Structure 1
Amino acid sequence: MLTLTLRNPLKLTWKGGDVVVKHVKEVANLTGISIRTLHYYDEIGLLSPATSETGYRLYTNDDIEKLQQILFFKALDFPLKKIKTILERPDFKRLEALYYQKERLVEKKERLETIIATIDQTIQNVKGERTMTDQEKFKGLDFAQNPYEQEARERFGDEAVNSSTQKLKNLSRNETDALGQSFHTIYRKLAKLRHRSPASEEAQNAIHQWYEFLNKNIGYHYTLEAFQGLGQMYIEDERFTKNIDQYGEGLALFMRDAMAVYTDQNK
């Protein structure tokens, strides 16, 4: 890391010239990101600004541009580990990334607009102002494309993912609905237990139900080690954490811990 000499709160001497910089509080105010989060980005090597001799983090224009890239990828639900890998690639080109991000965000915007329209129509349907067909009720809610598929392939291998994907594709609409209902029931049950010890009998019974559910319905048999790895993924991948914690804040962490206990107890 470079050793920098602070000349005033906004400038530092660097390679013989002055570079305008911002302190961490200024960057936090500018972006709406907490100081704690910016410190975390530094700790994991995602965004590590230079520091003054007194230890202040100093963000240059290059750091601000990199932070913008990070937030664009986060808007696409990329996990931080994946963002770090992308930005560290020697062939990374900012302009190409911007075009890619725009295309994906436009797609996301169009999908969200479709879902919002479906909600509006459903409100009208509930109020008796219109009648919806079954097809209209699910417009925009096509989850055939799994946003976690690539991560799953990297962690569990193509055979496991292909087997799971094929089984899910072969389900009828009624079977898919029943599977979804069972899924939600288990998660709601776990959410009610999340403030108890992950090693408690109730928590372990519920996690056992989750383990059995996955192995029965996903088309892939999880070993205990793979099951524990899946739980770790709930924490490492922000998208998993966000979706799981919709059932109750802290549920993803609770499930990770309970799955680890389950693995240890059943080896």
Structure 2
Amino acid sequence: MYTVRDVAKIAHTTVKTLHYYHKIGLLVPEQTTEAGYRLYGKNDLERLQQILFYKELDFSLKEIKQLLDGKLDREKTLIHQKALLKQRIEHYHELIKTINLSIKSAKEGVDLDMDTMFKGFETEQEWQEALKEQNEHLKKEYNVDLSNQIINVESMNELALEAQSFNKDMIRFFQEGFAPGHLAIMERVKKHLSFLKRKGLPSSPQDFLNQTKFFITDDFHRNMLEQQQVGYSYFLHVVAENFCHQFK
């Protein structure tokens, strides 16, 4: 017989995980002593091996329990999962192609078109991974946790494309020496805020000013903008001040 710590070590998992599996009836130890200690037998280890296998295939714990308890057709379920994995492999190949194009364009100093840049962002999981570093920063510095929010992939792609387009236009204005209050800049800002308003996001002149102020005071976001163009975060803030003054 094996203790819960023995099993955790053997299976490269955690005691907490095994306790949870017991709680939901997914992996019930063969014996529980009067003192409350869990003892696992050979059959339990074999079941755990199956659980971990199915987890690698992204089955939910509920589905795994149904499979192991014989409530789902194992063959049909695995065939379906195999098809999903093939789709994922193909999609990862597309992501690799996109990354390679991005690396190539960075070396050559050539901008990728927007469709190519965002070709790979097709699932909520990919967006969560893309936003992971930013979310961790917000949680650490401001105790704001956005990681559990549901992501609308289509909407996020639209927002990302608009952000890319807006920043590209603003950086061009900056590089070409346009004054922060230039009419062309004000019109582009107005168009950007109209887009945000249609998406139900903060879009008033004051909202825009507050956002750009945050960009220059927060290291993480300032660096993101400065990597695109040195001085851009400060230029954008002055643009927002001009826009707020004109349209407040």
* TM-score band, normalised by shorter chain: 0.3 to 0.5
TM-score, normalising length from structure 2?
0.42
Instruction: Write 1 or 2 for the structure with the bigger share of strand.
Output: 1
Whichever of the two has the greater Rg, that structure is 2
